[in-house]
Chain A
Amino acid sequence: QITLKESGPTLVKPTQTLTLTCTFSGFSLSTTGVGVAWIRQPPGKALEWLALIYWDDDTRYNTSLRSRLTIAKDTSKNQVVLTMTNLAPVDTGTYYCAPRGVGPAGFGPWGQGTLVTVSS
């Protein structure tokens, strides 16, 4: 059974750096073709892809957020970490992680998500 869980701070002050961890089980990020993505959703708004890391350390970033994001993996711990710098209130939302390449051609299953609020 594949499961993912996001963890990190629930409240962050503007200009601070956010670090989120996705801890997963049921698959390995050392398997060819497998990747893990971070996707966020502001309250009441649409999904927005942030970043994606593959088994071979190849990374992809949302072009508009590229300068603020870093994605990394720790294969031995089954974790993927997303770092986002210089947070602002518009970054408030639920942050999800989801795998690619472990099932049907898409993202899934998704983690439950973690709500991050950016406020002073």
Chain B
Amino acid sequence: SYVLTQPPSVSVAPGEAAHITCGGDNIGRNSVRWYRQWPGQAPMLVLYDSGDRPSGIPERFSGSNSANTATLTISRVAAGDEADYYCQVFESSGDHVVFGGGTKLTVL
């Protein structure tokens, strides 16, 4: 089955940019979704189609996807960005849903 690999944690100072990666075999051929989950809350979509933002998500959130790595970039990180972030794809072979293992973003 298809596997998405995320770093368990990423730490960044306020005002800097955070880069959260999601690795998968030829993931560049897939459309990647990214979800943010604040503690005790349900996940929420923050990026789709690898780099588009739903309404209400600030421009500070952007994405890229190429070859075997997709990346969520949060520029000018603030304390409110501290959360768990998950990548997700639909596995092309059977339209199954795959989530990455999640990355905890810590704002120093």
Contact = CB atoms under 8 A, between A and B. Distances in A.
- The reply to whether chain A is a binding partner of chain B is yes
A52 B98 CA distance: 12
B23 to A, nearest CB: 15
Contacts of B43: 47, 96, 107-108, 110
User: Secondary structure of the B side of the interface?
Assistant: strand
A90 interface: no
B45 interface: yes
Interface residues of B, number: 24
Contacts of B37: 47
Contacts of A37: 97
22 contacts: A39-B99, A46-B100, A46-B101, A47-B37, A47-B86, A48-B99, A52-B97, A62-B97, A63-B96, A104-B48, A104-B49, A104-B52, A104-B54, A105-B49, A106-B88, A107-B35, A107-B45, A107-B88, A108-B54, A110-B42, A112-B42, A113-B42
Given A60-B94, A104-B49, A113-B42, 16 more contacts: A39-B99, A46-B102, A47-B86, A47-B88, A62-B96, A63-B1, A64-B1, A104-B45, A105-B33, A105-B49, A106-B33, A106-B48, A106-B88, A107-B45, A107-B88, A110-B43
